[in-house]
Amino acid sequence: MRKIVMFLGAVFLLSTGVQAENTEYLITGTKPGFIHILDMKKQKVVRSHEIPNAGRTVFSFAPSPDGKIVYVLTNRMKSIVGLDIDTGEQVFRADFIKGDIRRQAFYAFDISRDGKELYVYQLSTRIMLSEYQQLPTRIAVYDTSSGLKAEPIRTFEAPRRIHMLMKSTDDKWLYALGFDIYKMNPQTGEIVETLPLRNWSLKNRSLPDVLDFWPLWDQTDIFSTPVYSVKTDKAADDPGAYKTGLMTLDLDTGKYEINDFEDTSVLIFSTVVSPTGKHAFGTYTQLTKIDLETHTLAGRIDQDHTYYAVNISADGKQVYVGGAACDVATYDPDTLTKTGQIFLPKGCGDQSTSSMRMIQRETLK
Partner 1 sequence: MSGKARLFISGVMLVALSAFSPSSSLAKDVQGKALVNDYCTACHAETDDGGLARISDVRKTPEGWDMTLFRMQNLHGLEIDSDERFAIIKYLSAEYGLSPSESEPFRYVLEQRAHFNDIAVNDDLDALCGRCHTNARYGLQRRTEKDWLKHMHFHVGQFPSLEYQARSRDRFWWQEVTTETYKELAELYPFKTDAWDTWKGADHKSPAGSWRVTGYRPGIGGYQGMMTVTRDGDFYKADYDLYDMTGGALSGDSKAVIYTGYEWRASGMLNGAETREVYALSEDGMRMTGRWHQAAHYDIGGEFQAVRMAGAEAQVLAKSSDYIRVGQEKEITLHGIGLTGKVSSDKGLGLNVTRQDATSVTVKITAGKNMSPGAYVVTVGQAVTEIIVYDKIDRLQVTPDWTIARLGGGKTPPVTAQFEAVAYMTGKDGDIKIGVMSADWQLHAFDEEAEHMKDVEFAGTINAQGTFMPGAAGPNPSRKYATNNAGNLKIVAQVTDGDTIISGEAQLIVTVQRWNTPPIR
Residue 286 Cβ vs partner 1, minimum distance, rounded to whole Å: 9
Amino acid in position 17? G
Closest to partner 1 by CB, 106 vs 182, is 106
Segment 146 to 205, residues that bind partner 1, using CB under 8 A: 160-161, 163, 179
The answer to whether residues 219 and 63 touch, using CB atoms and an 8 Å cutoff, is no
Q: Does 338 bind partner 1 (CB under 8 A)?
A: no
Residue 318 Cβ vs partner 1, minimum distance, rounded to whole Å: 22
Integer CA distances (angstroms), 78 to 92, 96, 194, in order: 14, 6, 28
Spatial neighbors of 52 by CB under 8 A, at least 6 apart, are: 81, 90, 93
DSSP character at residue 202? -
Residue 207 Cβ vs partner 1, minimum distance, rounded to whole Å: 6
Q: Does 100 bind partner 1 (CB under 8 A)?
A: no
Cα–Cα distance measured from residue 114 to residue 108, given in angstroms and rounded to the nearest whole number: 19
Question: x/- contact string, 55-84, with partner 1 (CB under 8 A)?
Answer: ----------------------x-------
Answer for which of 89, 171, 190, 209 binds partner 1 (CB under 8 A) is 209
H and E: helices and strands count for the chain: 1, 28
> In 3-state terms, what secondary structure has residue 267?
coil
Compute, in degrees rounded to 10, the torsion defined by CA atoms 319, 322, 327, 331: -20
Answer for which of 89, 151, 193, 304 binds partner 1 (CB under 8 A) is 304
- The closest alpha carbon to 252, from 272, 222, 295, belongs to 222
Q: Does 97 bind partner 1 (CB under 8 A)?
A: no
**How many of the chain's residues bind partner 1 (CB under 8 A)?**
27
Answer for which of 43, 87, 134, 188 binds partner 1 (CB under 8 A) is 134
Backbone angles phi, psi at 317, to 5 degrees: -100, 0
> In 3-state terms, what secondary structure has residue 25?
strand
Amino acid in position 56? R
Closest to partner 1 by CB, 112 vs 353, is 353
Q: Does 305 bind partner 1 (CB under 8 A)?
A: yes
Residue 122 Cβ vs partner 1, minimum distance, rounded to whole Å: 10
Q: Does 315 bind partner 1 (CB under 8 A)?
A: no
Phi-psi region of 302 (alpha: psi -120 to 50; beta: other; left: phi over 0): beta
Answer for which of 16, 19, 21, 129 binds partner 1 (CB under 8 A) is 129
Q: Does 211 bind partner 1 (CB under 8 A)?
A: yes
Span near partner 1 by CB under 8 A; candidates 150-158, 207-215, 256-264, 333-341: 207-215
Q: Does 343 bind partner 1 (CB under 8 A)?
A: no
Q: Does 301 bind partner 1 (CB under 8 A)?
A: no
- Please compute, for residue 280, the number of CA atoms within 13 A of its CA located in the half-sphere on the CB side: 30
> In 3-state terms, what secondary structure has residue 58?
coil
Residues in contact with partner 1 by CB under 8 A are: 77, 102, 104, 106, 123, 125, 127, 129-134, 160-161, 163, 179, 207, 209, 211, 285, 302-306, 325
